[in-house]
């Protein structure tokens, strides 16, 4: 006997006057008399083979909450071992809650009796009847509708009070320990009644009420933000969870987050394109009237198990889109402007970490690379925690004009006036593609918004992000520096992959023996390297051929750039970079 037949047999053996009609079994309700009803109500069991609600029962008198076979066995006093699908080794979910001595039960009852004819008519417009409102203990306190949040022990200790027709106007009433973020599940007891079966999880109590009126089991959270605080373990024994949110971008984001945490058992309802923002099941019930059940059934059939993965077709298309982009001129244009460096790296792609001793010219080097890229109309975001916006701009203007800082600051330039004005023009054009950010509270999310903005403003597919420096990115706590660096590297990996971003990141170096920086460059010289060796597509060291801590004429300063690790290219010496004194730049030369 298969599972479907075994479940049907369970009900047939334990009900009086059972009759099977197509996909339903009807019988005399075995619980009505015990609940004070004079006559047996109609007891209905859904028996559609392979349907989501096969085995779900409900009494049309609402004498007991509906549920699946294990709940039926408990109500009937049957040995659970008789129930198909029962697992004797399953450990129950124990909620460690110390409930208060006092509750709101009597207060809630008085609110029920205060529902006005106008409010009852409001609910009736969506098909919600008085019997369901009584079952859910919905009431009215004279100004606000009161939705009691009944706990697993059957008592109400907290309620949400909502102004009718104005869902943003609400407040919580009762014990604040029991209306905290993780306790905000309306009709929570239905989770226990639906073990091994299906359940609806709705955004908004009213959206749940219209489903309950149709006879479906379900729970609700007040709004989409509360979805994200749900404990997935609460649905561990639910086989299928239909997730119904309102039609909005915010709800879609929250839906995806909770679905990712709960897993494949989630089947989200999808709204057709073109519906108004915040369209909901409540509105659908009002619009469809008697056809609402048909509309919900269609949405159930159309629902698909949530997948955190893109479809194979989308993966195929995305892969070839990326190939096409990488074959295009925009991708090929991601060059530093130093021919030997571009040859060694094949351009600026992925995450590129550049280390160097203090005063070795790391910032000057990347300012030159970043501004040269911006001059070629490549959007660059420069996150600066070292020099300040004015110094970056001043050094760039010196390099473009081939004038020293002292010459630029003169009131009279004489013969150099034209080259200065030409440089100012190029500098102004560059600023469209070059943005300096000095915000020391920047977060990965803010960085993503900056990237979105400059891509939109410049209409470019690729963006370059420069970070000066990795060790001065903001962390919550200085003691978390190592883990903070690793967390930022993880975020850079995500941004790189999601947004087609290339990173140029300055890193500090660790001191070698005797406190010097003379150790031969290798991957381990990066300070608090953490995940650098795993995250960096290219790791480089700007190694001075002079003592950065000794006095030396600027004219004689020269650095060697070493590629110490790379995913795609051979490590080794890249080139020499001699200071172009006094213009705040470097000249690339073949190594001697």
**Residue numbers of the chain with a pLDDT score lower than 50:** 478
- pLDDT at position 104, please? 95
- 125-133 long-range Cβ contacts below 8 angstroms, 24+ apart: 125/286, 126/206, 126/209, 126/210, 126/282, 126/285, 126/286, 127/210, 127/213, 127/285, 127/289, 127/292, 128/206, 128/209, 128/210, 128/213, 128/285, 129/213, 131/62, 132/62, 132/209, 132/212, 132/213, 133/209
Containing 200, the helix (H) or strand (E) segment is strand 198-203
- pLDDT at position 464, please? 98
Q: Is there a cis peptide before residue 292, judged by omega within 30 degrees of 0?
A: no
Q: How far apart are CA 264 and CA 303, in angstroms?
A: 12
Q: How far apart are CA 507 and CA 469, in angstroms?
A: 6
Q: Is there a cis peptide before residue 582, judged by omega within 30 degrees of 0?
A: yes
Dig out the tokens for 89 from the structure: 């080794």
Name the strands in the sheet holding 538-544, side by side, starting at the edge strand that comes first in the sequence: 434-437, 380-384, 463-468, 501-508, 351-356, 538-544, 558-566, 572-579, 586-589
DSSP code per residue over 143-175: SSEEEEEE-TTS-EEEEEEEETTEEEEEEEEE-
pLDDT, one tens digit per residue, over 61-108 is: 999 999 999 999 999 999 999 999 999 888 766 565 688 889 999 999
**Measured on CA atoms in the order 91, 96, 99, 104, is the torsion positive or negative?**
negative
- pLDDT at position 530, please? 61
Q: Provide φ and ψ at 534, rounded to 5°.
A: -95, -30
Nearest to 147 by CA among 108, 193, 110: 108
Q: Tokens 């978390």 identify what position?
A: 480
> Which residues, other chains included, contact 487 with Cβ-Cβ below 8 Å and sequence gap of 6+?
none
Pinpoint the residues of the chain covered by CATH 3.40.50.300: 329-589
Report the DSSP beta bridge partners of residue 572.
563
Task: Give the CATH number of domain 3-82.
Answer: 3.90.580.10
Pinpoint the residues of the chain covered by CATH 3.90.580.10: 3-82
Within the chain, what is the greatest distance between any pair of CA atoms? 109
> Among the residues of 41-200, which ranges form H helices?
69-76, 105-112, 117-125, 130-135, 190-193
Q: Tokens 């995940």 identify what position?
A: 531
Q: How far apart are CA 330 and CA 313, in angstroms?
A: 26
Dig out the tokens for 135 from the structure: 């079952």
Q: In this structure, are strands 24-28 and 16-21 parallel, antiparallel, or unpaired?
A: antiparallel
pLDDT, one tens digit per residue, over 155-190 is: 999 999 999 989 999 999 998 888 877 779 999 999
DSSP code per residue over 420-483: HHHHHHHHHHHTTTEEEE--TT--HHHHHHHHHHHHHHHT-S-EEEEEE-GGGS--S-GGGHHH
Q: How far apart are CA 170 and CA 313, in angstroms?
A: 45
Domain 105-302 is found in CATH 3.40.1360.10:
yes
Evaluate whether 209 touches 172 at the Cβ level (below 8 Å).
no
Three-class HEC string of 559-590: EEEEEEEECCCCCEEEEEEEECCCCCCEEEEC
pTM of the entire predicted model = 0.63
CATH topology for 329-589 is Rossmann fold (3.40.50)
Helix, strand, or coil (residue 503): strand
Evaluate whether 114 touches 139 at the Cβ level (below 8 Å).
yes
Q: How far apart are CA 442 and CA 450, in angstroms?
A: 10
Q: How far apart are CA 473 and CA 383, in angstroms?
A: 9
> Among the residues of 30-95, which ranges form H helices?
69-76
> Which residues, other chains included, contact 534 with Cβ-Cβ below 8 Å and sequence gap of 6+?
none
Evaluate whether 551 touches 374 at the Cβ level (below 8 Å).
no
């Amino acid at each position: 006997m298969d599972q479907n037949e075994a479940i049907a047999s369970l009900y047939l053996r334990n009900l009086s006057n059972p009759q099977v009609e197509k996909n339903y079994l009807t019988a005399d309700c075995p619980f009505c008399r015990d609940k004070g009803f004079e006559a047996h109500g109609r007891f209905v069991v859904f028996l559609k083979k392979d349907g989501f609600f096969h085995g779900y029962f409900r009494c049309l008198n609402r004498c007991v909450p509906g549920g699946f076979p294990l709940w039926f066995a408990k109500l009937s006093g049957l040995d659970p071992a008789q129930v198909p699908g029962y697992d004797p080794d399953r450990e129950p979910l124990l909620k460690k809650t110390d409930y208060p001595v006092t509750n709101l039960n009597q207060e809630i009852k008085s609110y029920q009796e205060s529902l006005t004819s106008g409010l009852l008519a409001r609910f009736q417009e969506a098909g919600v009847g008085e019997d369901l409102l009584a079952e859910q203990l919905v009431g009215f306190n004279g100004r606000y509708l009161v939705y009691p949040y009944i706990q697993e022990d059957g008592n109400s200790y907290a309620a949400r009070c909502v102004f009718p027709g104005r869902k943003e106007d609400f407040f919580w009433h009762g014990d604040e320990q029991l209306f905290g973020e993780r306790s905000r599940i309306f009709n929570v007891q239905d989770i226990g009644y639906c073990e091994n079966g299906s359940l609806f999880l709705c955004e908004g109590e009213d959206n749940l009420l219209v489903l309950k009126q149709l006879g479906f089991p379900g729970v609700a959270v007040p709004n989409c933000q509360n979805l994200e605080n749900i404990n997935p373990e609460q649905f561990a024994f639910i086989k299928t969870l239909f997730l119904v949110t309102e039609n909005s971008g915010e709800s879609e984001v929250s839906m995806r987050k909770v679905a990712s945490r709960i897993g494949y058992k989630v089947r989200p309802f999808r709204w057709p394109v073109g519906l108004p923002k915040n369209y909901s099941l409540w509105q659908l019930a009002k619009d469809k009237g008697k056809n609402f059940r048909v509309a919900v059934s269609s949405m159930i059939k159309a629902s698909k198990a949530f997948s955190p993965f893109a479809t194979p077709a989308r993966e195929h298309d995305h892969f070839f889109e990326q190939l096409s982009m990488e074959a295009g001129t925009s991708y090929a244009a991601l060059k530093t402007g130093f021919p030997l460096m571009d040859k060694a790296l094949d351009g600026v792609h992925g995450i590129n970490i550049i280390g160097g001793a203090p005063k070795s010219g790391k910032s000057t080097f990347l300012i030159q690379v970043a501004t040269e890229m911006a001059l070629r109309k490549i959007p660059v975001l420069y996150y600066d925690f070292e020099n300040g916006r004015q110094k970056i701009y001043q050094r760039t203007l010196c390099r473009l004009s081939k004038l020293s800082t002292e010459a630029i600051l003169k009131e009279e330039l004489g013969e150099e006036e034209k080259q200065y004005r030409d440089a100012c023009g190029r500098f102004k054009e560059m600023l469209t593609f070059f943005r300096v950010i000095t915000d020391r509270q920047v977060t990965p999310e803010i960085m993503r918004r900056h990237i979105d903005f400059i891509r939109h403003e410049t209409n470019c597919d690729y963006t370059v992000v420069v970070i000066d420096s990795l060790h001065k990115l903001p962390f919550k706590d200085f003691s978390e520096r190592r883990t903070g660096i690793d967390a930022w590297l993880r975020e850079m990996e995500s941004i790189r992959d999601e947004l087609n971003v290339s990173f140029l990141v300055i890193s500090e170096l660790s001191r070698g023996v005797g406190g010097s920086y003379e150790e031969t460059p290798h991957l381990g010289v990066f300070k608090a390297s953490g995940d650098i060796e795993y995250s960096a597509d290219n790791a480089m060291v700007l190694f001075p051929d002079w003592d950065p801590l000794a006095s030396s004429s600027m004219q004689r300063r020269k650095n060697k750039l070493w590629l110490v690790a790379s995913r795609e290219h051979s490590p080794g010496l890249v080139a020499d970079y001699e200071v172009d004194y006094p213009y705040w730049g470097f000249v690339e030369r073949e190594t001697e």
